[in-house]
Every structure is written in C-alpha cells, then in structure tokens.
Amino acid sequence: MNREFRVEAYPNFIPFIDRKKLSSHPYIFAPVCHSGHWWLWLINTRTRKCQILDPLHKKAPSDERKDINKFTGYVFSRLIAYAGGKPLEKGEKEKEIKAPYVKISGQKTSYDCAIYVMKWLELIEPENIKKGKYEWDNWTQEEVDHYRVEYASRILFSEINRQRDHAIRESSAIRLSKPSSVLLSPFCQINSEDVNG
C-alpha cells in the first residue's frame, strides 16, 4: 500500500456509510470475496481487535491473501475513523493490521464458502465471540445443502426479484421463456452430490 486510503475519495459510497452505527456498534462484520472464495472479518470496535473466519483456510494461504487481509483491516480502520471513532491502529501500524484466523471446522467442498459466510452472519452472537466459542460451525454436508436451498429461495423470491419479474412481464421489449414446472416443484432439490457427479 503506497498511498493513504481516504474514504472521501469514494463519494459514491459515502451515502451508504452509517457513521452512527460504525462508531457505536460493538462489532463490524465484513464479508470478503477474492478469486471466488469468501471469508468473514469480525472487527471488535471496543477492543480494537480483528479476527478472520475462513471456511476453508486456518491461515492466509498466500502472500496475496495476507496483503488483502492487511488492506481490509486498514480500510475498516479508516472507515471507523471517518465515522468519528478511533482507528484500529495509529500511524503506519494502521497499514499492518493483522487478524488471526479463528480455528473452526469448515466447508467440505470447494464451493460452499459463501454459504458458510452467510450462515455465520446469521448465527454469530457477541457472547460467543467474547468466549471464543463457535460450537455451531461443524455442519454436515446435508445441512449445508439445506442452507443453500434456503438461501436460493430467499434470493429468488425476494421483493426485488418480484419487482424485476413484474417489469419484465410488462415490457414489450423483453421476452423470456417460462421456467420448467419441474424446476419450480418443491420436490426438486439439487444438492452437492448432483454438482459433484
């Protein structure tokens, strides 16, 4: 990192920054995706400590990932300072923020990382973070497949998709074929065995 990260340099994002929440919430959760892999940053704004939950790795697998993690810590430190809080580190140390990887069991396939991150965002409670207790991380592949179907349903049937579908149906310029009734059946479920097979 050669130059300072300044929140003000990204005016399009500033309306989405809630200064009050950034400076008052005890934890900030930051999902990160790079090269098709998701992991989760936990930032404790009170203790100024960070942790990484990665469903696949127990430590940064490459120098590139180490750099991405340092940059993520730096960006969040700058965001907290922008919101009126104290940065996670001072001076040049701010560019070298290190976060330990939490030892948890994780994904059993090469493609479930996003499912784990989304489920962690639902389940993480401050008490478990303080105690270092993560008893809910050892899911069976069947449970992960169930979560995938659950999330797919939420996304497909979300209000924004209903609005999009309505706009498409009303448009004379866009015509899409109707989905197969078999795929719409509640009895049709695709799991990891179907993907791997």
* Residue that wins the pLDDT comparison between 177 and 18: 18
Give CA–CA dist 66/89, Å, rounded.
17
* Residue that wins the pLDDT comparison between 132 and 161: 161
Rg (CA), the chain: 20
Give CA–CA dist 55/52, Å, rounded.
10
How many Cβ atoms sit within 10 Å of the Cβ of residue 144? 19
- Three-class SS of residue 175? coil
Q: Residue 116's closest CA among 154, 148, 149? A: 148
Q: In what order do the strands lie in the sheet with 27-34?
A: 27-34, 37-44, 49-53
Give CA–CA dist 37/117, Å, rounded.
10
pTM (two decimals)? 0.71
Give CA–CA dist 170/163, Å, rounded.
11
The answer to whether residues 97 and 73 touch, using CB atoms and an 8 Å cutoff, is yes
Segment 17-25 mean pLDDT: 75
Segment 87-99 mean pLDDT: 83
Say what the pLDDT of residue 25 is. 80
Distance of CA 80 to the CA centre of its chain: 18
The fraction of the chain above a pLDDT of 70, given in percent, is: 80
CATH code of the region 7-196: 3.40.395
Distance of CA 37 to the CA centre of its chain: 10
Give CA–CA dist 2/71, Å, rounded.
11
pLDDT tens for 160-172 read 888 888 888 887 7
Give CA–CA dist 107/53, Å, rounded.
12
